[in-house]
Amino acid sequence: MGKDLNLDGAEISVLKGIGFGGGDITGDVLVERCRDLGAEELIDALKGLIEQGYVECESSLQSSEELKSATMHINSGYARDLKEAMDPGGRDQPKSRRVRRE
């Protein structure tokens, strides 16, 4: 399913900023991690990820003030697919079947 996901640069930056560790992150920490994105671009990318179900957040994110006080995390059901979509070359290489024998 990773092939079906089309992420733009801003969405990839947001996903990397949130991280795949499974824990919640606050909006002010995300703003610090995504300094290359403006506030409006960050909110737009985040809203798109929330609408798709990739990111879970309890706030509506209508302003930068709401963003800073919000908490969010990556939906664990999509985590593997999102990782594959962010690094499409890593999935094409087959795993080695070589076994070390003693």
- What's the confidence (pLDDT) of residue 2? 47
Q: Which residues in the chain come in under a pLDDT of 50?
A: 1-2
40 residue type, one letter: E
CA distance 67 to 65: 5
- What's the confidence (pLDDT) of residue 25? 92
- Segment 25-53, tens digit of pLDDT: 999 999 999 999 988 999 999 999 999 99
CATH number for the domain running over 2-85: 1.10.10.10
* Cβ pair 31, 39 in contact under 8 A: yes
Task: Give the residue ranges of DSSP H helices in the chain.
Answer: 9-18, 27-33, 39-52, 64-69, 79-86, 88-92
- What's the confidence (pLDDT) of residue 1? 47
